[in-house]
Amino acid sequence: MPKEDKGKTDVRLGLLLWFRLARFYNQSNRLSNQHVKKWGLTIAQFDLLAQVGARQPISQQELADKLLVSKGNITQMLTKMEKLELIMRKQEWRTKLLTLTEKGQQLYEEVVPIQESFQAAQFQKLDRMEQKQLLAILKKLES
């Protein structure tokens, strides 16, 4: 195969991989949003609840870094979660620390295990070895 054709084939294969990953991600997000709607949450709110619940107290900046969102976006999300009485913000010197309220902790304990099982089930088409291979490949792409 001429070098030029191989380059086009590599680009095409890379695009196909990207499209498949994007399609799977979007499908997974759509299904997850439908699933957590049962608890009156969006997937973004669920992620926030899960991150705070697992790491509390966590600073607002640490949470923004974990969720890969801007400071402005995290502020909006936290305001909504406070109105739902799921989280509390506490100012400690120059840091805002976040914890779950009692209501938030109860929701966390109810929904997180169910959502984790739901997410894991999306990979049941792959056997354990294939899941490990996929994880290794995705880690390799991150670095």
> pLDDT class for 61, splitting at 50, 70, 90?
confident
- 81 lies in a domain? yes
Distance from CA of residue 98 to its chain's centroid? 18
- 117 lies in a domain? yes
- 16 lies in a domain? no
The CATH code of the domain that includes 134 is: 1.10.10.10
Are 70 and 35 in contact by the 8 Å Cβ rule? The answer is: no
Are 17 and 79 in contact by the 8 Å Cβ rule? The answer is: no
Q: What is the mean pLDDT of residues 67-79?
A: 83
Are 30 and 22 in contact by the 8 Å Cβ rule? The answer is: no
Q: How many domains is the chain built from?
A: 1
Please give the pLDDT value at position 64. Answer: 86
Report the predicted TM-score, pTM, of the whole model to 2 decimal places: 0.79
Residue with tokens 């498949």: 20
Query: What domain range is 48 assigned to?
Result: 43-142
- 104 lies in a domain? yes
- 17 lies in a domain? no
Please give the pLDDT value at position 121. Answer: 92
